[in-house]
Amino acid sequence: MATHAETDFRRRSHRLIEDLAPYPGRLRLSLSIGAICAISCVISMMYHFPEAAIGCYLVIFLMRANAAENVVTGIGLIIAVSFVVFLLIGIINLTIDHPPAQIAAIVIASFIFLYLDSATKAGEQAGIIALVISFVLTLLGNIPLGEIATRAVLYAWAMVFVPMAVMAVYNLLFGIPPQKLLRQTIAERLERAAGCLEGKERSREALAELLGEGTAEQDKQLQLIKLLSILRGDAYSFLERSQSHSYRLILAVSALPETGDREAGRHLAEHCRALADAVLAKRPLPAMQELPVACPELETVSAALEDLGRVTPLANGAPVKDPPVAPDIFTNPRHLHFALKTTLAAVTCYFIYTAIDWQGIHTAMITCYVAALGTTGDTVHKLVLRITGCLIGAFLGLMTILFVIPQLDSVGGLAFLIFGVISAAAWVSTGNERISYGGVQIGLAFLLTVVQGFGPATSLSAAGDRIIGILLGNAVVYLIFTHIWPVSVRDEVKLRTRAAVEKLKSLAGETQPVRNASTALLASVQTDLGIIRSAVDMASYEPRHMRPGKAERNAFSRDAAALRDLSLALYFKPEVDGEVRSLLTEAELRLGPEAATQTGETAMAEREL
């Protein structure tokens, strides 16, 4: 009989293998990241731009499969950093001779942009700006002359400009257009639906993961296609409608009982695959064939497939509220706490390496901006990934310094080396959230070790300093995020549960045609439920004193499953009957805003029971 630890180890090993498995476009994306980083490093070395490793980190962290998004992100970040450069030049003139003023400027700038990171859709980009401003200002203590300091700021601008410009140009020439990604997504949904209809092993779990991704990414792709006028008319309408109908299909398949008519299911699965092939090949979609036998339980699936095959026009559904600024931007203390904790971690690292006069470990401060996350469980999970990735990347870097760099005689050889290692790291970073941060850290640690100054590294001492800095930054983030205003996954679960309940409540008040057309709102609910399931998985990484008990985690999972069933009932049922209304009322009483007023002491007592 296998022990619980052995079973858990096998489950995690199986998951890791799945996470590292190839998917359409993963190899191309990984090679593209490797190529962009290699080109950026060569340009930085040729023109003596410092900190090429940090610039390449931005590529690994921000690069997506969507070429249009990468171009917009690259250009947008260049514009934002250009504005920051002018801001920094003014700050330098005011603080160059006043170290306390420099510290105040670091704290204020870091806090403002990290607050925007947490409370607005600027997100990662705002965090990157906080990193750039804070890092440049920390260098002023070593640069006494104003003119030289201004030049250093311009170098910092180049540190961002070069990789972002290369990323934008590369994606214009060789990137994957958003319309192709949309077709791949539609085909993937059809394939997952086919597997579930055939009753394949773990097909329902795979379908649940796909449902939890929602349609936000596809909506962004459609917006970019429209904004940039990549497609118009019928070509755009086909993608918009097919994307919505394909998500409706996987909703319908997920609502089926686990045991059903396998023969009818196989018939529909064959049609799903025929549609997927036609979508990828850009052929006319085949017509829906009648089921060999009457099967009422498959009517919703058949209807979704028929709408997809006919590319039926979309009706107006309930609106999805997705403002660029969080509604609780000034009332939720989480935004304030996140900005303060991350700033405190960064400034603490700065004080440590300044006090002991060890500038070589300045990577500690950079790591704080990279490692900070919302919940404690997320932070600890990413901490494990980052330390593991750091050790792997550092080992590869040290081996490179010892055995490879002495054999190189040109910058081209170094470029090929960076291309190979970063492509391998990008393979990991382009996986899901369970492993992606590990890949980012492998790439960052390798680059910080191998690329020093304006050429390849030859000093093991400098490489060791940078590795120690990364580990120090991770340690400081862990201590601060687990002891100062720690955010339990319990809080994230309650937040997402309340959001899902409110959306279902608004959906229940709509008429039948509107409810049946509210695919985007259902996708938003499924995203909330997917985040709940992920948060429950992250609970095991929290410190024992704040970790939800097993019974409480099981309750979270049951609540998520109940909300899923309720959402499908509201979406597919012709009428909101008394049973559905009572379930909604019960969910609102147990899980809605009123339930959120429960004190922390009561929650602790429930967990102990």
Name residue 451's beta-bridge partners: 456
| Final residue in a domain of this structure, among 456, 483, 510 | 483
* First-to-last C-alpha distance (Å) of the chain: 30
d(CA 33, CA 175): 11
Q: Which amino acid is at 36?
A: I
Residues 511 and 603 in one domain: yes
Write down which residue in 483, 503, 530 finishes a domain.
483
Q: Can you give the three-state secondary structure of 125-171, one letter per residue?
A: HHHHHHHHHHHHHHHHHHCCCHHHHHHHHHHHHHHHHHHHHHHHHHH
Question: What is the pLDDT, as a whole number, of residue 605?
Answer: 32
**Domain membership flag for residue 322:** no
Q: Identify the burial level of 323 via C-beta atoms within 10 angstroms of its C-beta, where 0-12 means exposed, 13-18 middle and 19 or more buried.
A: exposed
Same domain membership, residue 475 and residue 527: no
Q: Do the domain assignments include residue 11?
A: no
Backbone dihedral angles phi then psi of residue 546, each to the nearest 5 degrees: -120, 0
The pLDDT tens digits of the residues spanning 318-370 come to: 888 878 888 888 888 888 999 999 999 999 999 999 899 888 888 888 888 87
Return the DSSP state at 372. -
Distances (CA, A) of 110 to 88, 147, 593: 13, 24, 32
String of DSSP letters for 195-219: HHHTT-TTHHHHHHHHHHT-SHHHH
Quick: pLDDT tens for 18-47. Answer: 888 898 889 999 999 999 999 999 998 888
CA of 207: how far to CAs of 251, 277, 443, 484, in Å?
9, 19, 31, 38
Domain boundary residue among 445, 460, 483? Answer: 483
User: Does residue 323 belong to any structural domain of this protein?
Assistant: no
Q: Does 354 lie in the same domain as 476? A: yes
- Domain membership of residue 336 (yes or no) is no
For residue 11, the Cα-to-chain-centroid distance in whole angstroms is 23
CA angle, corner 423, sides to 422 and 425, nearest 5?
Answer: 60
Question: Burial code of 199-212, b = ≥16 C-beta within 10 A, e = fewer?
Answer: eeeebbebbbebbb
Look at phi and psi of residue 51 and say left if phi exceeds 0, alpha if psi is from -120 to 50, else beta: left
Position 254 in a domain:
yes
pLDDT at 171: 97
Percentage helix, strand, coil for the chain under 3-state DSSP, each rounded to 5: 75, 0, 20
Shared domain check, 553 and 530: yes
Q: Domain range spanning residue 219? A: 178-310
Tell me which residues of the chain have a pLDDT lower than 70: 1-9, 96-97, 140-152, 260-261, 291-294, 373-375, 453-459, 592-609
Please write the tens of the pLDDT for every residue from 285-318: 998 877 665 677 888 999 999 999 999 999 888 8
In angstroms, rounded to a whole number, what is the distance separating the alpha carbons of residues 539 and 561? 18
Q: Please report, as a single letter, which amino acid is at residue 192.
A: R
Among 512, 517, 514, 552, residue whose Cα is nearest residue 535: 552
Helix (H) or strand (E) holding 417: helix 411-429
471 within some domain: yes
Q: How many domains does the chain have?
A: 3
- What is the pLDDT, as a whole number, of residue 143? 54
For 93, other C-beta atoms within 10 Å of its C-beta total 12
Q: How far does CA 353 lie from the centroid of its chain?
A: 31
Q: What is the DSSP string of 262-295?
A: HHHHHHHHHHHHHHHHHHHHTPPPPPPPPPSS--
User: Residue for token digits 């290699």?
Assistant: 38
> Are 79 and 209 found together in one domain?
no
- Check whether residue 470 and residue 496 sit in a common domain: no
Distances (CA, A) of 151 to 92, 98, 165: 11, 19, 20
Centroid of chain to Cα 370:
13
Helix (H, G, I), strand (E, B) or coil at 451: strand
112 shares a domain with 162: yes
The confidence score (pLDDT) of residue 601 equals 35
Answer for the pair 183, 269: CB distance below 8 angstroms, yes or no: no
Q: How many CB atoms lie within 10 A of CB 38?
A: 23
Q: How many residues make up the chain in this entry? A: 609
CA 457 to chain CA mean position, Å: 32
Please indicate, yes or no, if residue 207 is contained in any of the structural domains: yes
CA pair distance 253, 256, nearest whole angstrom: 5
For the segment 81-91, what is each residue's pLDDT rounded down to a tens digit? 888 877 777 77
Q: Give the integer Cα–Cα distance in Å for 341 and 481.
A: 7
Domain for residue 13, yes or no? no
Does residue 537 share a domain with residue 499? yes
Q: Are 86 and 97 members of one domain?
A: yes
Task: Give which of 94, 96, 29 is closest to 65, Cα–Cα.
Answer: 29
- List the one residue out of 366, 343, 364 whose CA is nearest residue 355: 364
Q: Residue 306 carries which side chain, given as an amino acid letter?
A: E
Contact status, residue 351 vs residue 476, Cβ threshold 8 Å: no
Q: Which residue has the tokens 């019974």?
A: 551
Tell me, yes or no, whether 50 and 166 share the same domain: yes
Both 512 and 438 in one domain: the answer is no
Tokens of 487: 């955010």
Whether 244 and 297 map to the same domain: the answer is: yes
Tokens at residue 325, please?
Answer: 């600024």
